[in-house]
Amino acid sequence: ISFISFHSGTTNQCPMAGAFAGILLSAAEGESCEHHARNNTWSLLSESISFEDEAVIHENMVTANFLLGIITFTAAMSVVPPYGRHIRKGWGPVISNKWGWVLMEIPSVVVFVGTFISGSQCQKLAPRLLAGMWLGHYIYRTFVFPNLIRTQDKCIPLCVVMPGFIYNIFNSYLNARFISHLGSYPSTWPTDPRFILGSMIFASGLFLNIYSDKTLINLRQPGETKYKVPRGGGFEYVSSPNYLGEIIEWTGWAIASWSLPGLSFALYTSSNLIPRALENHKWYQEKFADYPAGRKAVIPKIL
């Protein structure tokens, strides 16, 4: 959270971000996880299902997430999702960009926290560190980023927002439930090479993601709508370093959590963002005659 505050300078605009960030601390410092679990919706549901049965259901949901990545990649390579520079009419009701982002991403904070604090291991250090990484990204994406963008007057179709909203409920449960309840992390996990390496990869991806977002946002002066060629930072190598940053982040999360839910999300992120990056790259090349010829779409010197 300190990293986000330093780089965005906008957390004062988003008091809800601070409130959500404090939930984990209240769970650890005030009441026990067991108390939260007894009064949590997830725990009420789990009373009627055994640990073993929930684990099987969870494994099947993770398998579905892997399959969903394949379906998403196939669909995204066939049809360009109609938002951002690719917005077009004929896709039904729309909502403002700002509130569309908030609505789409908020389950990744609310559902994740609610699921996490109901877990039997939520007070352990390793799950809390992993939760902090997750919330570091999603508090930025849900509450900070929508207040930074200068396209708040533009719209995004609900047919884009609502599938994202539903997926984030599903994915937040998968990952939060594993790290706080179904998975098992020893007390030495924070010093494990996998956690250290994964955390470093995650942090580098988060930095690239936020830095690239700010570069794109700062291309426009207030009131401007014209697109320009972004330069500097990761944009010297690829057209969508913000997407590359997210792919790196969740690859790091998968390594740090050493979990199949984490791996399924990392692959899903790639399946969703790589086709989008390819379309962005094509759009830049068609719109700007002087677009840098050596710049790739999303992976430097490769793709």
In this predicted model, what pLDDT tens digit does every residue of 107-134 receive, in sequence order?
Answer: 999 999 999 999 999 999 999 999 999 9
DSSP single-letter state for residue 16: H
Q: Is the pLDDT of residue 11 over 60?
A: no
Q: Of 230 and 151, which is predicted with more confidence?
A: 230
Q: How confident is the model at residue 42 (pLDDT cuts 50, 70, 90)?
A: low
Q: What predicted TM-score, i.e. pTM, was given to this entire model? A: 0.83
Task: Outline where 79-186 has alpha helix (H).
Answer: 97-105, 107-116, 125-139, 145-148, 158-177
In this predicted model, what pLDDT tens digit does every residue of 257-286 receive, in sequence order?
Answer: 999 999 999 999 999 999 999 999 999 998
Q: How confident is the model at residue 8 (pLDDT cuts 50, 70, 90)?
A: very low
State whether residue 79 is helix, strand or coil.
coil
Written in H, E and C, the secondary structure of the chain is CHHHHHHHCCHHHCHHHHHHHHHHHHHHHCCCHHHHHHCCHHHHHHCCCCHHHHHHHHHHHHHHHHHHHHHHHHHHHHCCCCCHHHCCCCCCCEEEHHHHHHHHHCHHHHHHHHHHCCCCCCCCHHHHHHHHHHHHHHHHHHHHHHHHCCCCCCEEEHHHHHHHHHHHHHHHHHHHHHHHHHCCCCCCHHHCHHHHHHHHHHHHHHHHHHHHHHHHHCCCCCCCCCCCCCCCHHHHCECCHHHHHHHHHHHHHHHHHCCHHHHHHHHHHHHHHHHHHHHHHHHHHHHCCCCCCCCECCCCCCC
Q: Could you give the angle at the alpha carbon of 146 between the alpha carbons of 143 and 148, nearest 5°?
A: 105
Whole-number average pLDDT of the chain: 84
